[in-house]
Every structure is written in structure tokens, then in C-alpha cells.
Amino acid sequence: MAAIGYLWVLGLPLTRAVTALSAKSLADVALPKVIIRGGMVYDLNPAAYGVGVLLGTTLRHARQVCPDLVSLPFVEAEYADRLRLVISVLRRHTHRFEFDGPNRLFVDFAGSGQPDKVIADLAAACPGTIFVAGIGSSKFAARASVLATLACHTTTKHPMFLPKPGQPKSGRRSEGMPAQFSGTAVDRMAMLALTNLADGGSEQERSFIAQLPVGYLWPIAEETRERLYRLGFKTCGEVAACDTRELVRVLGTEGERATALARGIDPQPVRPSYTPDEIIRRVDFEVPLTSRLALKHSLMLLGLDLGHALAGEGLGGRELELTLYPEGGTPLCLQRSFSRPRGGPTVIAEAFTALFDSTGTTNAIASMEVAVRGLQASLRQQLSFLDRAVGDDRHGTLLETLASLERKFPGGAVRLGAPPVSRRERMLHFVDPLRQPREGALIREPAD
């Protein structure tokens, strides 16, 4: 089952290192602070969260809740600067993440080990923040779980978002998350709220989506969601129970999309935000492994995932690095270089397996990490509509080529069949007899 996460980091620009600070500085860190954007509370720190300040409320109302509230303006550059730490930790596990705002992003955890542990590592690297995360089988489910978790801490007046849904049943707090948010001790740690719908299976995820208000049907436009609400649909379950053809008659193509989302179907992939200088994969074993067969199998899976990531972006790497972390010992690092960029899942996986075979270690391994560096654009797969050899299935060759074109040019622009003829060409067919000579164009004979 796919594991896609949605991460919302609150209070990131308001954090400060609390080690080696004076008593005055510690008192300043513990002050309730908010960030104002468009006259509304856009972000807050744990101290403001603890006294009951709501996201989306006006600054005037927030000051009524907390008279000592400190307000700061929204500066996007500060978010970009503080997010570098989050990205550096995240890239150790995966490079497939897509930003949904200055402090929110989607993450594809495919091949990234244990998603819960990855999110816990991210929260531990950001002290003084509130880290709200949701994991589901799709982008819609992951985002909806986070919005539902923060619903009681967010103000809304639009009826299509009401009644506010309860926190998902699989939601939990981290071990270091205090029950009450106050004092400097809160700012010394990251508070983590995690909802993992993928653990409960598809049935639990569908039941969670069914009870959501219709306003949660992102990424459908707000105007379409308002129209659904005016039509009498109050929850996603009511939209899912409706006949798709009825919604298509009223909403057009958006009606089919709304029905699919309400039923938990969201095929949107997580798009990588940029090409990193390196791609890293890491796996931490629950129990240190001594079996070389099991270690080679895990290493093969890591290498294949790394190779698929390279091939998906048309990249190749010149340097490979394998790092083994034995239990209570010094890490063992092995490297291999290529004269030209190499890519492909099989090639990368076999190269890492060969590095592991050259070690001959018999120690218990607690974790392993693979990395590829020196990324360059490599030659993509050559596309051909012709038979590659006598006896090949021509129809199968065409389908494989079209599938490759679909991956390279997404959006449904590739179609099987002759290209459409423009109106200009159709008109020229009647006036220019030489354009279509094989169709018996009329050629006038000279007059006598």
C-alpha cells in the first residue's frame, strides 16, 4: 500500500536555539508569538498554541485570548531559510517531496523505511515547533487527516467546513509531547502529532473520508465545493454515494473527480520539487542483522529504489557510496566511481551488492545507507514505433512506446492513431491539387 505523507510545521520561523541562553532570552522564547498574513493568524509557536490562539483568526481576536501576544509579519524568505534543516534531514530518506505552502509539503515514503521513524527524526531536528503529520494512501487522504487533526485549533466560518471532524482514530502523540503546552520546556522540544491512516487499511481510510465535510474535497476548486454544498451535499460520504453521471451533468468533468476523491481514489503522484545534488536512501533495522543473505536482500531493495528514482528523472550518477553502521562499532564506508554517469535500477543495485560482497564483514549491522552523487543528465530510453526484430509484437511495441511518452509528457497529450488534421490543411486540400495526389485530385487539362 502506498504511503504518502503530509507535513505541516508550525512555529518554524519563531524557533531559537535554547541552549546556552540567558534567563532573559529563555523568557523571550517562551512568549506566545504569532505570524500575521493578510490580517489573520497564519502561524504560531507552542506557547501561543497552548493558550488557545486559533489559526485563521484575526489579530484582534487573538489578542483578546492572549493580551501578551507578540505578532510578527509574514516573511517567506524566513520560511525558506528555516526549511533547509527539514529538507536536509528529509533527503537522507527520500527526495520525492512536493511543497504545498511555505511550511507544508507532501512526501512520498516509498522505499524510505519506516515513515513513522522518518517523521519522528524530522520533529526531533526542529526543536520549538509543532509538527503535525498525516500518512495515507494518497495525497488527498494524507492532507485531509492533517486538516482534521488541526480542525479544533483552526477557526472557520464557512458552513461547508462544518461540523468540524474529529481527530482520526489512529492519531497519536509522540512520547515527548506534553499534555499541556506551557513553559520553556515546551520550546526545548518538538511537539509531534502523527496520524497514520495506512496502518488501518483501506477500510479505515474510506470510513474516515466519508465523515469529512464536503469542504475538505481538495484539490477541487472552492467554487465547485460551494456548489456541491448548495446542492445539498454535506459530507464526502454523500458525494461518494451519488451516481457519477448525475454529478457530471451538473459539474462537468469536476463531478467525476469529486466522486473519485470522495471514494478515496486520488492518483496524483508526489512530484519532486527539484533535482538534488545527491540522492540518499537509508534503512534502520529493528534488530541488528548478522545474516549476509538478509543484508544483501535489503541492500538490493534500496539500490532498486535508488535506481528507479534516477531513471524517473533521466539522471545518472558518477559516484556510489555504501555506509554500514554496525552495532556499537565504527561505520564502514565504501565508494565506487564511474567514468560516465550510470543509471538504471538493476545497474545501481548490482553495484551496491558488489560493494557489499567486497567487505566480507560478519558484524551485526544496525542500519545501512546508500547514496549516489555527481548527478548528470543521462541518455534517455530511445523510443521507436518500429518492430525491433522479426516476430516482435508490433502492438505491444507501440503500447510500450506510448507509455514512455506518457511518462515524459504527462497530461493526456499522447494518443494512439493518426494526428488530427487542421482546418487549414482541409481547406488547402480543395484548392491545391498537388497536396493529396493519391486521392485523385482533379487536375484540369489545358483548353483547346
Say yes or no: 69 and 173 in one domain.
yes
Expressed as residue numbers, the domain containing 318 is 278-377
Structural domain includes residue 286? yes
Number of C-beta neighbours around residue 275 at 10 A: 12
Say yes or no: 52 and 92 in one domain.
yes
Say yes or no: 122 and 63 in one domain.
yes
Structural domain includes residue 218? yes
Domain boundary among 209, 234, 262: 262
Structural domain includes residue 385? no
What is the pLDDT, as a whole number, of residue 442?
Answer: 42
CATH number reported for the structural domain that contains residue 369 in this entry = 3.30.1490.100
Say yes or no: 202 and 109 in one domain.
yes
* pTM for the full predicted model: 0.66
Say yes or no: 232 and 297 in one domain.
no
> Cell numbers of 128, please?
520549538
The band of 56, judged by pLDDT with boundaries at 50, 70 and 90, is: very high
Say yes or no: 162 and 14 in one domain.
yes
Say yes or no: 190 and 297 in one domain.
no
Structural domain includes residue 390? no
Of 195 and 234, the structure prediction assigns the larger pLDDT to 234
Give me the DSSP letters along 171-229.
Answer: EEE-TT--SS--SHHHHTS-EEEEEEGGGGHHHHHHHHHHTSBGGG-TTS-HHHHHHHH
Structural domain includes residue 388? no
Structural domain count of the chain:
3
Number of C-beta neighbours around residue 190 at 10 A: 24
Q: What is the pLDDT of residues 356-388, one digit of tens each?
A: 988 877 788 988 889 888 887 765 555 555 555
Domain boundary among 200, 228, 262: 262
Domain boundary among 232, 262, 292: 262
Say yes or no: 27 and 164 in one domain.
yes
Q: Over 60: is that where the pLDDT of 18 sits? A: no
Structural domain includes residue 392? no
Structural domain includes residue 320? yes
- DSSP category for residue 279: E
Say yes or no: 243 and 315 in one domain.
no
